[in-house]
Amino acid sequence: MVQPKLIRKIEELSMNALPALQTQLCDGWVLRFADGYTKRANSVNPLYPSYEDLNRKIESSEKAFLERNIQVSYKITPLASPDDLDDTLEALNYSIESRTSVQALSLAHMEAPSLTNVLMYKEMPEARFADFCRLNNIHKRNQPIFRKVLEQIIPTTCFIFLTDEKEKTLACGLGILEDEYIGLFNIATEEAYRNRGYGTKLVTNLLYWGKENGANNAYLQVVLTNEPARNLYATLGFKELYRYWFRVRN
């Protein structure tokens, strides 16, 4: 069983990696708002011990999201507090969405990969922002919000792009380094170039960058239905730590 301390660590790292545009603390719950872009940045995160009346907290949380015209959702991890929160939300007709596996990998034996056609940047290059959004299926209406989210990131970032000889973007990703952990986010490969090893090359380069810059471990979050990504991470040695899902108001 994974220790609660490690789960809380990963959850805090991932919240820092995808900062909300607004955050509200409520008796151990972290309410995150980002104009509706992604559930992770627009959800209640019941991460810390909770003591106040549960029904009253649910009611006030719903109000906070509905006032912003954002769908009400709760991120349910093994640390969700109080213990009966998931059952209570189910009784209130909150459905489950986006079951996700949180995985980790030690970088102790990570070796230097090929750097051919690999581009790395500390900040998102304007010339490749459109490619990054396209490969990650970020709708045009959400791109200004996504840009704001990127600007809010405090930890060290590495935007990575894999190109062909003509510098056409074939794959991209984002690494976020904090406290000896590198988190992998927005890993994507151009559909026409999948199953050719580009994803493996991209991720191994990102992991090695993390190791070279002080990371001892890597973590990521992959939706259970994303079988190709799960297979890729399994071949690289990632192991599941725990799972989470969202309870979403119908």
Query: Could you give the CA distance from residue 155 to residue 175 in angstroms, rounded to a whole number?
Result: 10
Radius of gyration of the chain (CA): 18
Give me the domain span that covers residue 187: 109-215
Structure tokens at 145: 């919000």
Q: What is the pTM of this model?
A: 0.96
Q: For residue 75, what pLDDT is reported?
A: 98
Q: Is the pLDDT of residue 45 over 80?
A: yes
Q: For residue 65, what pLDDT is reported?
A: 97
Q: Is the pLDDT of residue 1 over 80?
A: no
* 8 A C-beta contact, residue 21 and residue 149: yes
Nearest residue to 128 (alpha-carbon basis) of 183, 181, 190: 190
Chain segment 176-222, per-residue pLDDT in tens: 999 999 999 999 999 999 989 999 999 999 999 999 999 999 999 99
Instruction: Classify residue 162: in a domain, yes or no.
Output: yes
Q: For residue 115, what pLDDT is reported?
A: 84
Query: Could you give the CA distance from residue 71 to residue 65 in angstroms, rounded to a whole number?
Result: 7
Query: Could you give the CA distance from residue 31 to residue 45 in angstroms, rounded to a whole number?
Result: 6
Averaged pLDDT of the chain: 96
Same domain, 85 and 164: no
Instruction: Classify residue 225: in a domain, yes or no.
Output: no
Same domain, 17 and 79: yes
Instruction: Classify residue 224: in a domain, yes or no.
Output: no
Instruction: Classify residue 222: in a domain, yes or no.
Output: no
Instruction: Classify residue 12: in a domain, yes or no.
Output: yes
Number of structural domains, the chain? 2
**Looking at 99, 119, 139, which one is the last position of a domain?**
99
